[in-house]
């Protein structure tokens, strides 16, 4: 009779019989399973950790003009907002009212645009405006501060799509109001 004690208090015992593999073989198989389970757990934790660190949105990722539909004040009323960064988006969209987040490395402007008159109009506040990307328990948030008003959004999704006719990628940013 062969007895093996594993960490965690589990035991394995085997006795030799004519039709079964040797006790030593069974013990090796049990030990291999124990090692494999620990290895798989380690690999899983490593992959999850790597995925979280590489899946983060950075300030350079969101530089440029991000536009969303503001028909019927949709930006202000909706819980979920999808911004898009595409040069032709305003021309394909069926709305006149657009909210634009104009983000550069050192500056930020929150702009309300109206494009259905010639020339189009843009309105923004001359006061202090800022945008920050922060880490939270659930992922990342974007904090938009205009004068004394602060709006916080959770980043739900960020995608870059390659289109053959453009030299630039089309980017989409989906946010949920917190």
16 and 103 housed in the same domain: no
pLDDT category, 144, cuts 50, 70, 90? very high
The whole domain housing 90 covers 59-177
37 and 105 housed in the same domain: no
73 and 132 housed in the same domain: yes
pLDDT category, 64, cuts 50, 70, 90? very high
98 and 139 housed in the same domain: yes
DSSP character for 32?
H
98 and 36 housed in the same domain: no
Stretch among 24-33, 79-88, 97-106, 151-160 having the lowest mean pLDDT: 24-33
What is the domain count for the chain? 2
Query: Whole-model pTM above 0.75?
Result: no
Q: Which of 16, 36, 54 is the last residue of a domain?
A: 54
81 and 113 housed in the same domain: yes
Strands (E), the chain: 2-5, 11-14, 64-69, 80-85, 97-103, 108-114, 121-123, 129-136, 139-146, 149-161, 170-177
CA pair distance 42, 36, nearest whole angstrom: 10
CA pair distance 13, 11, nearest whole angstrom: 7
64 and 50 housed in the same domain: no
Q: Which of 28, 54, 80 is the last residue of a domain?
A: 54
130 and 103 housed in the same domain: yes
pLDDT category, 21, cuts 50, 70, 90? low
43 and 65 housed in the same domain: no
76 and 114 housed in the same domain: yes
Q: Report whether the peptide linkage leading into residue 119 is cis, meaning its omega lies within 30 degrees of zero.
A: yes
74 and 155 housed in the same domain: yes
94 and 64 housed in the same domain: yes
């Amino acid at each position: 009779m062969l007895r093996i004690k594993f960490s965690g208090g589990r035991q394995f015992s085997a006795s030799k019989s004519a039709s079964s593999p040797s006790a030593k073989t069974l013990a090796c198989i049990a030990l291999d399973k124990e090692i494999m389970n620990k290895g798989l757990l380690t690999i899983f934790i490593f992959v999850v950790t790597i995925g979280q660190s590489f899946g983060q949105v950075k300030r350079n990722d969101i530089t440029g003009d991000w536009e969303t539909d503001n028909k019927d004040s949709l930006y202000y009323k909706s819980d979920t907002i999808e911004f898009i960064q595409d040069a032709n988006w305003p021309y394909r969209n069926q709305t006149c009212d657009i909210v634009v987040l104009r983000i550069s490395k050192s500056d930020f402007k929150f702009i309300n645009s109206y494009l259905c008159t010639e020339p189009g109009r843009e309105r923004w506040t001359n006061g202090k405006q800022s945008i920050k990307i922060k880490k939270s328990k659930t992922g990342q948030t974007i904090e938009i501060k205009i004068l004394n008003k602060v709006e916080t959004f959770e980043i739900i999704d960020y995608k870059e799509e390659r289109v053959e006719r453009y030299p630039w990628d089309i980017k989409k940013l989906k946010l949920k109001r917190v």
